Structure 1
């Protein structure tokens, strides 16, 4: 699968092309691309999309059949490294799904912060059909987004489920009749996000993602600390002043700048 990157209107776009399969090489490419976008002060959010009939078919079994234990461990490591990086990024990641997202492709979708999909899209973990299990974090990401029994059903059966099904369960953020409708909505949604504080959004993402992993008492303390950090920011002063003065805020705090300190 070829992967291209674009930077348009402060959006870092990652686009899947050709056969929609993930490999060792393009997993490394994806990791470097999202790191590049994360550190680019001219990028506010990141998207995954596809120009093929499928969003991402996952892994080519004809290649995977030749892997031994060591090679499979490296492959899983690279996939999980990408998934963890997506979760740890301060910037919002949005998957725009139009077509099948299967196996590792579904895992990339699940690691995104926001998921938009067309009604024709299908999702699933087909790995048990091939004598293996999901290896890029699917069993863990899915069970953190929804109840354990549905995760087991998908993984055990290897069946595909519709976008409607996942929308009803709250996994898909918004559902669309076709790709044009989804693209138009996304453009409006992106403009709305770009008017918000990138710094505050990054804090919120960090608190939500990390809070899932710990007990409520510690999660509440995590939120309290992040809330306090927000009050030390320029964006807090600007946002509240703009509200009082009845004008649009001009947010300036950037995570890229904090990393240089």
Structure 2
């Protein structure tokens, strides 16, 4: 099985696994350095558009991405050649990071505006509205405070504490780094579905064959739905996944139009 690995796929697998293992051995927080930050955050750096692809949030996150790279990557590398495959991987990953950053900028700015508005005119109704819209997952952890605040709406101590909570929530939302090779991996999935649409893949759950074009369509629609819904507690970067798929689609369309010079 491993003897069929192509050079770039093998090196990408090794790089991701070694960096993840290294992050558990050293005292330096690599996620803090390599993760993709909110573009206006003090910790943001341009190199994060590349390094975020080589850092993962856990073994499950790492395994799912590397398994997909292992399954779909070798055929694409043989089809394009190592240089073009690596170029494709990097461009889709960077493009996914850029699209995620654009959506993240819009979302964080909304929270920032709401937080600033609350600081100017704090009151119980505005606090509960802010929590419901921007921090519903945080709501239960301060339920007792919210209940007490409702019974003491003119108490300065509760008003000041509510400001602290609003500030903490904004800081938390604006400082969460995005990590993982998912954007590039979803680009690979899109490429596989476009170039080999009728190839049948065997699903694990349920155990049934499905053509690549249908699997890619399902994933694309699911990610779009999840990105728009953005359910509380959902920490998956759906817009990065969609960004990888979008950049992959554009690249392949361009390369098809340049077939005489590219392939």
After TM superposition, the score normalised by the length of structure 2 is: 0.24
When Rg is computed on C-alpha atoms for both structures, the one with the higher figure is 2
After TM superposition, the score normalised by the length of structure 1 is: 0.24
More strand by share: 1
Higher relative contact order (CA 8 A, sep 6+): 2
More helix by share: 2
